[in-house]
A and B are shown apart, each in its own frame.
Chain A
């Protein structure tokens, strides 16, 4: 295990258990206006009693609390996060700095447009860059995350079809899709029909031809798909859909394989979302915030959410008068702070740098594939792009499943890969290294994976109970769900 050795971690109680009456970590300035009696101002019945159980700690206790807890996390800053389709790449700190520049961070969404031109210019520049990268005609930055973008995109399709007279009933979704795709279709009022992938792991165009009936509103695909395989028949698929008045939606989760190489707008996509917290390096922050811009072809532009950014001469303005718009999907204009970070990433890379990142991401994934193929079963032999999916076929014969292998990987100093997804691979190990990993980090990962494959042969029982090196051993998730304890209560 060349990457890790153990060190002490601090124990830390919950804030509520650490509290002592009267302790505080805040200071407020003295009031420069008269105090107001709350009961008189609000009515006694509207004034609350003290907040039972709320924390009472000192400043040093507060910072130690969160610092100690932070050390219980794995993070990109510790090492590689080979999570497939999640694109966990390095998060440049310059992006954090610029998002905190006072004139941007403290801009109020309702400040006069004349005093918000800087924010709007940032958004305009990002829009322009995303359109060039995707080859689409218009983009909205309003959606807050990928799934939110999906909902926006499907609502756009629905609005266009409705205007043509029939919103239709179904969305087709390949069996390799992310769970958000069918969940989104349902929220937009559509029935979901699954399409089986072909033997090579791509869309079966013949099957698609049969499935696209006048009831079908759209096909939602991820390209490259969740096997990391480019949908080579994408142009034909788009033609089949378009011929029958249906649309092609692309989940942009895997755009890291395409930037600067191929553009969805050039291969028949009508609507797509991007995940700025994946492809454009804004930090995941333990589960968010993200941003899920939606880019569309011209025909869908009238339906984009209000307001739209509009330039007239030197001035930028918000256009609220949009007759066909689906309406707002979120208050204000989007996760602006995330947009700032994404634009900083694009400026730092520039056109050539973005393309190089794609080349490196695909090279890294192929390198891992070559190194691990002798040890793990590769269910689909198609050329892969930015990620590679193995199965636990060989290891499960010895009783060790993908989830066990993943937990053992933790002992070697890595975050697990994506486990048991896509669902079309039995016992999937889905690995995406991204471009930001060096060969040294990749080699250490490969070394760990090979060592684990060997451990499975010699001591499968040991692997099944991993991890061993973490301060928390395997967690009882079944117990957590059976008797949910979702908040602290005094004993």
Chain B
């Protein structure tokens, strides 16, 4: 090959680089190591993390069981090592699964169209806000304080340089639901979007319909955000929303210290042209067979450049495939049963520790710590190899004496009882259920 290139060494191919740009020393990185040593290194790091702990953390990242089929499918080289499906003739596998993904997200959310994925839920929120700005020709965004605090931070970062003022409205002190009066008072004719989360950051199924009415009366769009996708198995879909922005981590995507996850944006048909991100559409090939391809790409950066609806290019295709396999495995019956189990577990736990808010919740809730600090309670739990809830003072100073607790189908009764004990409550006796021995 060197001969064919007319050089004596590969280095000569760099001869045209100006001397001043060259690195005239080896990189200060150790020599390469074997597979065995790499595994060893990462196992050692994993051992420095929580190992074998039960956890009651939720807050946007949930511990759900990952069916074995998920990794079986996404480990296939045809999915794992393929490129973005621009060449439809040799990408029908990926394209078909994305079409199924889009369909299932519509079925779940009650929207007409869903995109092929965004980076995550947090970045889907500003994308949805910018979409509302384009669709309404207005500029202001009102976000609920009960929207995930880190999502609100991301929204502010994106909004800062776009002439998109972001204001926030509160939640009711007793119920933990939206303060609709506060929302109403902050609405004006310049408001493009009202952004709410349901179940909200406190786990409460919120007043989406009422928020929609308020938003629509002033010509704004309602963006409904979800972080706990499993809730969609049981909780009414946000059909009153104009745009749904969500996080699918709950669908067999491992917590992985915060990523990679997969976000989505879904909407009503009439806002289709304002959608960010890739879309797969159905078509035919030259022989008339059903086929799929990326479509409506005149919205996207590689065609429209600075006039694109978003700058997103690479998204989270493989992670969206995990969610697709998860939705297939659980299916119509399983997702409901899974959601019902989450509801039951969280309500069992809540029965032991007393929720701070009165609003109806799905699988997480805020617990007041009654005399002890959340940090003290967590410290006691760590000794029992349990990671407790998320202390809320960091995000909500007014809730500094509270923590956010989450229970899923993975939470065992004994561990929940241990949480109750750490709060200083005697465990309420409830009859044992069949199947308890399986989890014991």
Contact = CB atoms under 8 A, between A and B. Distances in A.
A485 B310 contact: no
Contact of A30 (B29, B282, B300, B436): B436
B397 interface: no
B280 to A, nearest CB: 7
Contacts of B205: 42-43, 46
A487 B268 CA distance: 13
A425 to B, nearest CB: 16
Interface in B137-189: 148, 150-151, 153-154, 156-158, 160-163
B13 interface: yes
A287 B94 contact: yes
A33 B285 contact: no
A179 interface: yes
Given A32-B439, A115-B387, A133 B27 contact: yes
A67 B77 CA distance: 11
A354 B4 CA distance: 24
A36 B347 contact: yes
Interface in B1-29: 1-2, 4-7, 10-11, 13-14, 16-18, 20-23, 26-29
Interface residues of B, number: 199
Given A105-B254, A110-B61, A145 B235 contact: no
Given A122-B45, A180-B311, A480 B254 contact: no
B119 A145 contact: yes
A487 B94 contact: no
A14 B99 contact: yes
Nearest to B329: A25
Nearest to B410: A29
Given A287-B317, A484-B295, A487-B99, A91 B50 contact: no
A491 interface: no
Interface string A57-74: 101001101110111111
B281 A52 contact: no
A56 to B, nearest CB: 5
A328 interface: yes
Among B44, B78, B347, max chain A CB count under 10 A is at: B78
Contacts of B303: 179
B52 to A, nearest CB: 9
Interface string B41-53: 1111111111101
B325 A66 contact: yes
Contact of B378 (A25, A59, A112, A476): A112
Contact of B33 (A192, A350, A354): A350
B5 A76 contact: no
Interface string B411-425: 011001000000000
B296 interface: yes
Contact of B338 (A28, A289, A487): A28
Contacts of A151: 311
Given A48-B234, A63-B73, A105 B255 contact: yes
B316 A109 contact: no
A474 B285 contact: yes
A379 interface: no
A467 B287 CA distance: 12
A329 B306 contact: no
A41 B319 contact: no
B257 A338 contact: no
B327 A55 contact: yes
A439 B3 CA distance: 13
B83 interface: yes
B416 to A, nearest CB: 8
B371 interface: no
B93 interface: yes
Interface residues of A, number: 192
Interface string A365-387: 01100110000000000010100
A86 B314 CA distance: 11
A284 B307 CA distance: 26
Contacts of B319: 285, 288-289
Interface in A139-167: 144-148, 150-151, 155, 158, 167
B410 to A, nearest CB: 10
Interface string B330-345: 1111111110110111
A193 to B, nearest CB: 10
Given A104-B42, A235-B21, A38 B317 contact: no
Nearest to A92: B35
Contacts of A29: 409, 435, 438-439
Interface string B64-85: 0001010111111111111111
A470 B89 contact: yes
B312 interface: yes
Interface string A248-284: 0000000000011111001100000001010000011
B103 A487 contact: yes
Nearest to B255: A108
A337 interface: yes
B89 A486 contact: no
Interface string B258-288: 1110100000000010000011111111110
Contacts of A444: none
A8 interface: no
A317 to B, nearest CB: 14
Given A62-B328, A73-B91, A286-B83, 8 more contacts: A105-B254, A111-B50, A129-B29, A179-B301, A291-B260, A328-B157, A330-B259, A415-B90
10 contacts: A34-B431, A51-B107, A71-B78, A73-B92, A118-B47, A234-B21, A286-B79, A340-B42, A476-B286, A480-B295
